[in-house]
Structure 1
Amino acid sequence: MRIAVLDDYQDAFRRHPNFQALAAHEVTAFTDTVKDPDELAARLAPFDAIVLIQQRSPLPDAVISRLSNLKFISQTGRNTYHLDLAACRRQGVTVSAGGAGDPSVTAELTWGLVLAALRHIPEEVGNLKAGRWQSTLGTRLRGKILGIYGFGRIGSIVAGYGRAFGMRVLCFGREGSLARAREAGYEVPSSRAAFFSVCDVICLHVLLTPETRGVITAADLAHMKPDALLVNTSRAPIIEEGALAAALLAGRPGRAAVDVFDDEPVLGASDPLIGMPNALCTPHLGYVARETYEALFGTAIDQILAFETGAPINLVELPAPR
């Protein structure tokens, strides 16, 4: 098979320990992202199989319907909201989606952003390189209130970090999150407004679904303290479109640290958050660690080999034609 690997920015797929298992196949790794459907369809036209890294490239009907050679999609991770599964069924494309990264990887980056933002680490490093010595006052964590919105695999780890740093931890989210948080011994505030208004640091850990798109609203952000920090290492669209930039300009919250953006990859510093002095921005590094990539790519390779033998694994159920 001819196999395309999309959005492999670090060209890491071909360095995977099991890459030689695909020696009988022709593998092409693309280290950039093509967003235009016509260009993406032209790029993928020769290929029999596609490896997708998380949700970096959507494959809508406008692309899939033009890929007459495509037989198989090997998705890393289980989330498939970026794929037109009905188009896959119509075109006879098999989809496998399996494997999950270690939640501690994103949790660690989240805590790194908390520390970097509150102690002004990037700014002070830049100042030191420019010949200046100490220009900011940091904020300690002990005694402050940490808010976890979404107490799941990642949120529960970040909550533990907050406890270890001597913070009071509050949790909020949907009923499942609240039940898990209470069971783990964490405090749940009386209302949504109380959660956003009392916390000094709020970390968002919400899976993007149609139901959670825009779940954090401008009104929520307006409740936050003027010296509070909002951290988002989940997905940008869980915040109402444009609300975070507007909130930072208005001064509630006073700061944000974000690893995710509405339109990725962000090139040329084109997202408005990147130029804001009270926003610390990183290029979606949450799951970008060697161990995570080895696990995800290992599953992607296994899925390809299983499909080749006629016994595909981690099959995604495709919707019946209407």
Structure 2
Amino acid sequence: MRVHILDDYFDTLRQLPSFGRLADHDVTIWTDHVTDPAALAERLRDAEALVLFRERTEVGADLADRLPNLRLVSQRSVYPHVDVEALTRNGVLLCSNLQLDAPSSAAAEHTFALILAAARDLPRQVASARAGTWQAGVGKSLNGRTLGLYGYGRIGRQLAGYGRAFGMRIVWWSSEAGRARAAADGEKVAKSREAFFAESDFVSVHVRLKEATRGIITSDDLQAMRPDATFVNTSRAGLVAPGALLAALEVGRPGTIALDVFDSEPVTDPNDPIVSHPRVIPTPHIGFVTEDELDLQFAGIYDQINAFAVGKPINMINPEVWDGSGR
């Protein structure tokens, strides 16, 4: 099959062991990012299979309707960036292994790195050292401080383990069902939503983005945090209500915000009001970008292509498209 892979910014995938699974296919890798559907359709005009690099490119009707040769879109995890109806209308199968409980430490590790960076004010300290002015203030120890985790899922539980290793107190908030699971597991659940935000030194959100969770973190939530507290989001930008981050920064509650996700990506404007803010620690959506994690994720994506090629597709999201003919 003619396979096109989008948005591999650093041409990483071909260097990983899993890439060998595409040996029987004609593979094209694109390392830049194109947003214009017409330009994207032109470069993908001969593609039979399209591999998506997480949610970096949106596949809407304006693209799907322009790709008459496309038979398969293969990706991993959730797919809010894919117009499944448009793919189905064009006879294109979407395969995606949701891997809801797959072992992965990359996102949890990056989240805790941001917590450490915020606690010790590392960006400012590094800048001060490079400027020749040596130290730039005093940081905070994690031992004895409270880590508030919003969302009782796999990544949150991994973070809880990291926090406990540093001597932190762990407190949870989540949906009613999530809070019940946490309590049943013997975890400490905050007495109220307000108390959760007000009493945590660090709040990190780990919830899947869907219609019910969009904007679930409000301005009131953020502004209930203390001026010496930190809010961390490595999940999805859409979990935070529009305008809530800037409003929180304006009033200084919380005092620090650490982000790996943004409303519109990539962010390339150095004057972006969020990225450029002195009390924001921004990273460019790299929570999952490690060699180990990419090899794990793309091995499954390639397996979906191979299964389709031999007429036995797996992880079908719109199975009504599949009639056994390969089209």
Q: When the two structures are superposed, what TM-score results if normalisation uses the length of structure 1?
A: 0.94
Q: Give the AA of the match of 1:103.
A: S
Larger CA deviation: 108-117 vs 20-29: 20-29
Are residues 104 and 133 of structure 1, via their aligned partners in 2, closer, same or farther at CA, if it must alter by over 3 Å?
A: same
Distance in 1, Cα, partners of 2:318 & 2:135: 57
Count of residue correspondences: 319
2:90 matches 1:85: no
Alignment partner, residue 62 of structure 1? 62
**Deviation string, structure 1 residues 5-56 (Cα, Å, up to 9, x no partner):** 0111121222232434433422111112112222222232221110011111
Alignment partner, residue 222 of structure 1? 223
Distance in 2, Cα, partners of 1:134 & 1:18: 44
Contact 2:21/2:303 (<8 A) preserved:
no
Are residues 202 and 6 of structure 1, via their aligned partners in 2, closer, same or farther at CA, if it must alter by over 3 Å?
A: same
* Structure 2 unmatched ranges of 5 or more: 322-327
Distance in 2, Cα, partners of 1:271 & 1:30: 26
Q: What value does the CA root-mean-square deviation take over the aligned residues?
A: 1.7
Contact 2:16/2:291 (<8 A) preserved:
no
Distance in 2, Cα, partners of 1:92 & 1:257: 42
Alignment partner, residue 309 of structure 2? 308
Distance in 1, Cα, partners of 2:156 & 2:291: 22
1:93-242 equivalences in 2 (<5 Å): 93-98=92-97, 100=99, 102-242=103-243
Structure 1 residue 211 displacement after superposition: 1.1
Q: Indicate the SS of the match to 1:103.
A: coil
1:27-38 equivalences in 2 (<5 Å): 27-38=27-38
1:291-302 equivalences in 2 (<5 Å): 291-302=292-303
Distance in 1, Cα, partners of 2:271 & 2:97: 33
Contact 1:85/1:318 (<8 A) preserved:
no
Structure 1 residue 184 displacement after superposition: 2.7
Structure 1 residue 141 displacement after superposition: 1.4
Structure 1 residue 268 displacement after superposition: 3.0
Contact 2:147/2:170 (<8 A) preserved:
yes
Contact 2:108/2:155 (<8 A) preserved:
yes
Structure 1 residue 176 displacement after superposition: 2.7
Are residues 23 and 166 of structure 1, via their aligned partners in 2, closer, same or farther at CA, if it must alter by over 3 Å?
A: closer
Q: Give the AA of the match of 1:29.
A: I
Distance in 1, Cα, partners of 2:208 & 2:84: 19
Structure 1 residue 140 displacement after superposition: 1.3
Alignment partner, residue 278 of structure 2? 277
Q: Indicate the SS of the match to 2:316.
A: coil
1:250-265 equivalences in 2 (<5 Å): 250-265=251-266
Are residues 74 and 230 of structure 1, via their aligned partners in 2, closer, same or farther at CA, if it must alter by over 3 Å?
A: same
Q: Give the AA of the match of 2:199.
A: V
Distance in 2, Cα, partners of 1:288 & 1:18: 15
Distance in 2, Cα, partners of 1:318 & 1:241: 35
Structure 1 residue 313 displacement after superposition: 1.3
Contact 1:103/1:153 (<8 A) preserved:
no
Q: Give the AA of the match of 1:48.
A: E
Structure 1 residue 270 displacement after superposition: 5.1
Contact 1:99/1:295 (<8 A) preserved:
no
Q: Give the AA of the match of 1:80.
A: Y
| Identity within the alignment, % | 45
Q: Give the AA of the match of 1:294.
A: D
* Structure 1 unmatched ranges of 5 or more: none
Larger CA deviation: 10-19 vs 52-61: 10-19
Structure 1 residue 221 displacement after superposition: 1.0
Distance in 2, Cα, partners of 1:155 & 1:103: 12
Q: Give the AA of the match of 1:176.
A: A
